[in-house]
Amino acid sequence: MALSPFSRLATKLFHGLDPESAHEAAIETLALGLGPNAPKDVPALSTRCMGLRFPNPVGLAAGFDKNARAPMALARMGFGHVECGTVTPRPQEGNPKPRLFRLTEDAAIINRMGFNGCGIESFTRRLERFRTLQAGRNAVLRSVPVGANLGINKIDARPLEDYPYLASRVAPLADYITINLSSPNTPGLRDLQSASTLGDILQAITRANASLPPLLVKLAPDLDPDALPDIVEAASEGGAAGLIVNNTTISRPPSLRSPLVTETGGLSGRPLAQLSLQMLKRVVPLVKGRMAVISCGGIESGFDVFERLRSGADMVQIYSALIYHGPALVTRIKSELLHEIYRAGFDSVDDLKSAGR
């Protein structure tokens, strides 16, 4: 499906800027309410996951709206859920610029942002305003769950205190919470994915919070496969409702053609597709239906979504493809997904998911 005139123009304009300036311009545009309005989703796309109802299975991954500046506009764009963050306890600048790179030849992104953001105080104030606005809008916008992705500061981090504190701040405002232990751009963060440390963090969160929305853990694609069973068990025993599989990768596939391949940071986009699918197929049998699994990485078409759902994912998230294909991508993916579902003889997303269980 061809890009709409609006999507083509927006993508061309933003790609005329350096990547970080383009990202800021896109968020500011959306925060002003200037984004597109997608058609209402058909019932066949609706799905239930973690006790929540989602209008469709295509969500926006964390990292795009770090500071919860535009969840309303992103919901109007047609996403089935919007994940804001990663947010840290205190504001921080992140890593030195330049820190965001388009690998255009590979339809990929490398970032080493380093959890730059406004901190939890500003983040929660914006979520509060969003919830007030959302309550007065139509039922379509009220039906789009909004999640909060939580991380730690680079300096003076205390994970066993920081994650419970952040969870307590966002719990009244978020439909679900994601614990980010897998960004490669904060020193020592990925070490927190070990089964014992993950279990301690989840236990600390649940001990400090009597009531929480569904809690998810976001994993790195570079984990040792031998460590996965213990990590999945720790997540399940710690009360996690789901896993996001997966974050960016520090690996560099030999197929990459861009001269920017030598930049350090996490790689996302099309080259991550097979690595993400492989990890999904390793994780799903370990989960055994006890938690939701959200697949993220290299998704840019309805067939990609169909393949992930057929492989055991409950939902998917996208980000990098949005940079290359523009805001019309979400509607296109959902249209293609419906075509794939009907072509395969299923009636709905939930019908497809049930057949794969």
Residue type, 247: N
Phi, psi of 169, deg, nearest 5: -75, -35
- What the block records as the tokens of 36 is 């597109």
Q: How many CB atoms lie within 10 A of CB 80?
A: 27
**239 in Cβ contact with 290 (< 8 Å):** no
Cα–Cα dist 62/82, whole Å = 8
In 3-state terms, what secondary structure has residue 292? strand
Distance between CA atoms of residues 98 and 53, nearest Å: 39
Sign of the CA dihedral running 287, 289, 290, 295: positive
Tally of residues, the chain: 357
User: Is 196 annotated in the active site?
Assistant: no
Give the active site residue among 143, 183, 276, 320: 183
The partner residues of 54 in beta bridges, in order of sequence, read 47
Catalytic residues: 183
